[in-house]
Structure 1
Amino acid sequence: MPILNEVCDLIVKHAGGVNFEPYITYLRNQTYQMATLRNLCQRENFRSALDNLHAHPISGKNTINSFLALPMQRLTRLKLLVEVIRRLQDAVVRDSKDKTLEKHPFRVPSVRERENVQLALRELNRLLTASETEKELMDRKSRLLTLSSSLEFPDNVKRIAISDKRLIKEGELRECLSENGRMSVLQKLTIRKPNTFYLILFNDMLLITKKKKNAALSLPILAFTSAFEPPCSSIMLPSYVKDSTSSRVSPSRVIGLLFFVLNL
């Protein structure tokens, strides 16, 4: 298996250096690449040029999305190849110890070759993990920027900064009725009593907002901070919100919303 072993030797040779770092950089920016592609596809001349490229025989009937996904697929396929090489090496070593076999069709791999397989597999796992971590981080940052631009605040309410927060969960909350039939806290929070709220859960804050027709998110109806554990900082309510008891909401009344949004 000289050729197969050389694959691992080459990976080990370049491991730990800068030769594999472009993979991580590429995958880190994949979210912005796709966003840029979507924006470019809105231009008719770009779509026409792209269609001509897709129709060219050299593209093999593959779309640009297929080519953009190749770097990540290349790393994954390399890992699968190295795992196959390791299994083949193990099989050859196992057969070499079998005294019932007189002849071995393959050369027994050396200690260095076996070590290189392990090192190559370790390096590929590191690259895949680092790439996934970087991509998830950039995806979260991109989503935070989108949410930040979507939140609309009136002039008399201080804007909540969310760019430095960690997004945990988001989703719609519908039909907020308690089990005993009493009016829920969300129904008491607004005059119009909308049927649907949009909840955004960060590492230290839960924002309860309402979607608008233009896809923007209106001023948070409720902002609950400090990880839902008393003593908490404060719960911001806009001036038009009416509550029969107080302008503040007890943390225990919002805990159920937290569990609900985590299961969305």
Structure 2
Amino acid sequence: MENFKRRHSKLINSSRLLYQEYSDVALNKAIQSQKRADSLAEDLELSSPSSPRLRRKVQSPQNSYLQRLSVSSNASLWQEIPMIRGSRMLLNMSRDDQKLQEAKFELIMSEASYLRSLNVAVDHFQCSSELQVLLTNQEHKWLFSRLQEVRDVSACFLFDLEEKFEENMFNFNVCDVALRHAPEFRRVYLPYVTNQTYQEQIFQRLMNGNTRFQQVLERLESDPVCQRLSLKSFLILPFQRITRLKLLLQNILKRTPPESDEEVQATQAYDALEKLIKDCNENVQRMKSTEELIYLRQKIDFECKIFPLVSQSRRLVKCGELMALDFSSLSAKWKLSTRPIYLHLFNDRLLLSRPRENGRFVVFDHAAFSDVRGEKCEMKLHGTNKNIFRLFLLKNNQGKRVEFLFRTETHSEKLRWISALAPPQGEPDLLESPDSPQVQCIRTYKARENDELALEKADIIMVMQNSNDGWMEGVKLSDGERGWFPSEHVELISSKHARQMNLKEEQRVKNAKQQVFCKK
């Protein structure tokens, strides 16, 4: 890290695009590639963003390709490098080897674009004298966190990638470099992402209550260096990047020769990024859950057996108000009555409450999650009483078995509650689900509730079930995360061949991990 200031990237200006747009172009390209996945005409651009071809220009032989590229247009394809294009080595390479090199080059080019955006974030925003005067030290620290350290780590990573590339443009490795830098990634990304909750809170507070901050920010964002992108889009870059970096390494791993040294390095680098992202998500979830529990503790009263609500291991899975249906007999007739009950479902316990004014709740019953069951109900009722399900407490707070009949507003809410109340399920065996529907995300979706699945463009999801009002429950193939999402954000993958290839590729990654880590 001490050599950072003395080294200069040759790729930093290779693209006019900042990472936000560069990444979007790459993801759109991945979406189009998936649509052509079963076509024999699929080209070599599977993981590369579309861009103009390099301008043909006579160059002095002493200049390296990277130096020339630094003043070229948006070059991003390895095969378009003048030394590579039309060379005998390229012609002798197999199609799979060409795709592997393209995947590696995409990692390098995207890191260059990412560093360019980080430079704007640090030099233009974080180091802004106006913002430094305007914000307190604590506000400035929470807003920008360790962004400068993230930038420095990215710069060192890119420098090493460039050196590796220049050593042998035809057969270069990037996974060993990623693996070597993994400890530095963890050192800066984990605290930065963990701080995300405070970052969002301070940003919203400043936007809502500080007119001067709004004015300064508007002026800074209007500078051409930002390319009409907001400060917020720069602040969220680090988490987006490590997520994308994991997928780029995964794409390389899928193409490396089995049982090769490169496969081992790709697997280890991918695993390091996967663990980092998991730890980042867990830290963010833990902070969010603790805040939710502290807030709920102030809003909840118990009229039954009390138990301590706040716990480090407890997290809110789902909550909401449902309508309980009660049947009572008057002479020879049955009468149906309804009453609102609010459910707070945690990963270890279910609370049933009567809602009160000002967002308060009175808990009248609760049970351990292991003693809770939800089931579909086929009972046919007239009028608005549709979307019914049964809830069983096998042992409530008094040790008794209790049954409830609930009605939801929508079909999707009914299915979501039944799914949330089901016992935990292990990660599905992909090869045992060859006929399960698959969809591809075409528009990013940010999860709004705890049982929802956040989606990024080009994510492939195996669909577990559909509602009749536009929601799906599925599992992301890339990481096994499960949840609900609106169907309007995805497109169906209709080709059976394409679905089988997606499963085969993900299984390839799992097999590689088993081979590498079982040997140890």
The TM-score, its normalising length taken from structure 1, stands at 0.64
Deviation, structure 1 residue 222: 1.7
Counterpart for residue 78 of structure 1: 245
2:362 matches 1:220 = yes
Counterpart for residue 270 of structure 2: 121
Query: In 1, are the aligned partners of 2:343 and 2:353 still within 8 Å (CA)?
Result: yes
Counterpart for residue 177 of structure 1: 325
- Structure 1 CA distance for aligned equivalents of residues 231 and 306 of structure 2: 40
2:355 matches 1:210 = yes
Deviation, structure 1 residue 201: 2.3
Query: In 2, are the aligned partners of 1:209 and 1:217 still within 8 Å (CA)?
Result: no
Matches within 5 A, 1:181-196: 182=335, 187=339, 196=340
The 1:118/1:87 distance shift into structure 2, 3 A limit, reads same
The 1:85/1:157 distance shift into structure 2, 3 A limit, reads closer
Q: Provide the secondary structure at the position in 1 that maps to 2:360.
A: coil
**Deviation digits for residues 68-114 of structure 1 (CA, Å, limit 9, x no counterpart):** 22111111221232234335544xx9xxxxxxxxxxxxxxxx94434
Deviation, structure 1 residue 21: 3.2
Query: In 2, are the aligned partners of 1:172 and 1:198 still within 8 Å (CA)?
Result: yes
- Structure 2 CA distance for aligned equivalents of residues 68 and 173 of structure 1: 38
Identify the structure with the greater strand proportion.
2
Alignment length (residue pairs): 215
Letter in 2 for 1:85: I
Letter in 2 for 1:86: L
Deviation, structure 1 residue 123: 1.2
Matches within 5 A, 1:28-67: 28-43=194-209, 44-67=211-234
Matches within 5 A, 1:95-244: 111-149=260-298, 151=299, 153=301, 161-164=308-311, 165-174=314-323, 176-178=324-326, 182=335, 187=339, 196-202=340-346, 203-212=348-357, 216-227=358-369, 228=371, 232-234=396-398
- Structure 1 CA distance for aligned equivalents of residues 360 and 221 of structure 2: 42
Counterpart for residue 402 of structure 2: 252
Supply the RMSD in Å over aligned alpha carbons. Answer: 3.7
Residue among 417, 420, 437 paired with 1:262: 417
The 1:205/1:114 distance shift into structure 2, 3 A limit, reads closer
Question: Structure 2: 5+ residue runs without aligned partners?
Answer: 1-100, 102-163, 166-170, 329-333, 372-392, 409-413, 421-520
The 1:80/1:136 distance shift into structure 2, 3 A limit, reads same
Query: In 1, are the aligned partners of 2:367 and 2:397 still within 8 Å (CA)?
Result: yes
The 1:231/1:159 distance shift into structure 2, 3 A limit, reads closer
Query: In 2, are the aligned partners of 1:145 and 1:163 still within 8 Å (CA)?
Result: yes
**Deviation digits for residues 115-141 of structure 1 (CA, Å, limit 9, x no counterpart):** 222211121122222222222222222
Deviation, structure 1 residue 146: 2.9
Deviation, structure 1 residue 40: 1.8
- Structure 2 CA distance for aligned equivalents of residues 14 and 134 of structure 1: 21
Deviation, structure 1 residue 230: 6.1
Deviation, structure 1 residue 9: 1.9
Query: In 1, are the aligned partners of 2:304 and 2:397 still within 8 Å (CA)?
Result: no
Counterpart for residue 188 of structure 2: 22
The 1:111/1:231 distance shift into structure 2, 3 A limit, reads closer
Letter in 2 for 1:33: Q
Counterpart for residue 11 of structure 1: 178
Question: Structure 1: 5+ residue runs without aligned partners?
Answer: 94-109, 188-195, 236-249
Query: In 2, are the aligned partners of 1:204 and 1:225 still within 8 Å (CA)?
Result: yes
Deviation, structure 1 residue 231: 5.7
